[in-house]
Amino acid sequence: MSKLRLSPRAFLWCTRITLATVILNILTGAAVRLSGSGLGCPDWPACQHNQITPALSFHPVIEFSNRMVVVLLVVACGGTAIAAFLRQTRRKDLGRLSLGLILGVIAEAVLGAFVVYSKLNPYVVMVHFMVGIALLSVSMILALRAAHGPGSGPLLVSVKVRRTVLVYLGLLLLAVVAGTATTGAGPHAGGPGAKRIPFRLDEVARVHGETVLVTGIVLLLLLWMLRSTDAPAGIQDAGKILLGAMVVQGLVGYTQYFTHLPPVLVGIHVLGSTLVVCTALWFHHRLWAHGPIENQDGDTGLTHSISTAGVRTPADVGRRP
C-alpha cells in the first residue's frame, strides 16, 4: 500500500495541472462561442446522429475540440480526487475540495448538454459559464491549500481589512455575473439564430462597467487600509498585483466595447477574467500565515512557531516599529 501513496508535493502538482485544465476548458468554451461553433455538434454526447467524431469542417471540429478538453477535465478532476485519497497524509480540507471538483465537472457536463439541446439558450449559457468560474475557484483554492501544511496560522491583517476583502470578493462576483450578462446581450451568440438576452447591449455594458468601477474603488480602499495599518509587504504587493490585473482587464474591456467586440479581444477578456479571479483568491489566501508543506513523512519539517516566526499577528497590526 505504501507504493500507492503520493507525496504532498506530487499532489500539489496534480492540483496545478487540474487548475490549468479548468482554465483551458473555459477558454476553449469561449472559442466555441466566439467562432459561432456552438451547434457544430448538434447532439450530445455524440457529435451528430450517433456519430462520435465530427465532420472535417470548421465549426464541428471547434465544438468537438472543446468536448475533448472536457474529457481531459474529467480525467484531471477525477485523478486529483483519487490523489487526495492516496496522499501521504490525508487532509479533510483537500478531500472536500477534491469532491467539489467532481461535483463541478459533473455540473459542467450536464449543463453542456442543456446548452446544446436548448439551442444555445443565453440563460443556460450564462449559468454554464458561471459554473465554470465556480469550478475555477474551487481548483484555485485547492492548489493554494495544497501548497502548505494543514490549517492556517494567525491572521496577518486586521479583522476590518479581512471583512473588506470579503466585500471586494462579493463585488467581483457581481462584476463577473454582469460581464456574463453583457456577453449574453452581445453579438456573439455562439451560432446562427441563437436568442439573445432582451436588454440593450449598451445598458448592460454600463451596469457591468459601473460594477467593475465600484469593485476597483473598494480595492483602492483596501490598499490604503493595508498601508495605513502597516500590513506585511507581501500582502500589500499581492494587492498591487491584483490592482494591476484589474486595470489591464478594464482596458481590454473598454477597448473591445469601442471596437465593436472583435472575437479575439473578447477571448482575451475572458482569459483576463479567469486571471483576475485567481489573483483575487490568491490575495485573500495571503491574509493568513501558513506553515510549510509536509515532507515525505507527513511532517512539516518545522514547528508552526518557527514557520510563523517574524510574522506580525493581529495584535501587532497598526503598530509602527
pLDDT of amino acid 39: 86
Average pLDDT score, the chain = 89
Report whether pLDDT(190) > 90. Answer: no
pLDDT of amino acid 306: 33
Q: Name the pLDDT band for 309 (thresholds 50, 70, 90).
A: very low
Q: Which string of b and e fits 118-149 if b means at least 16 CB within 10 Å? A: eebbbebbbbbbebbbbbbbbbbbbbbbbbbb
pLDDT of amino acid 221: 98
Q: d(Cα 166, Cα 178) in Å, to the nearest integer?
A: 18
Mean pLDDT computed over 29-53: 87
Question: For the ranges 41-45, 140-144, 246-250, which has the lowest average pLDDT?
Answer: 41-45
Report whether pLDDT(315) > 80. Answer: no
Q: d(Cα 179, Cα 134) in Å, to the nearest integer?
A: 15
Report whether pLDDT(110) > 60. Answer: yes
pLDDT of amino acid 317: 46
pLDDT of amino acid 294: 81
Residue 249 · residue 271 · CB < 8 Å: no
pLDDT of amino acid 319: 40
Question: For 203-236, what is each residue's pLDDT tens digit?
Answer: 999 999 999 999 999 999 999 999 999 999 999 9
Domain map of the chain by residue range? Answer: 2-307
Chain position carrying cell 468601477: 213
pLDDT of amino acid 313: 45
pLDDT of amino acid 15: 97
Report whether pLDDT(119) > 60. Answer: yes
Give 3 or 275, the one with higher predicted confidence: 275
Mean pLDDT computed over 12-16: 97
Residue 39 · residue 121 · CB < 8 Å: no
Q: Name the pLDDT band for 297 (thresholds 50, 70, 90).
A: low
Mean pLDDT computed over 190-210: 91
Report whether pLDDT(321) > 70. Answer: no
Q: Which three cell numbers mark 320?
A: 509602527
Mean pLDDT computed over 152-171: 95
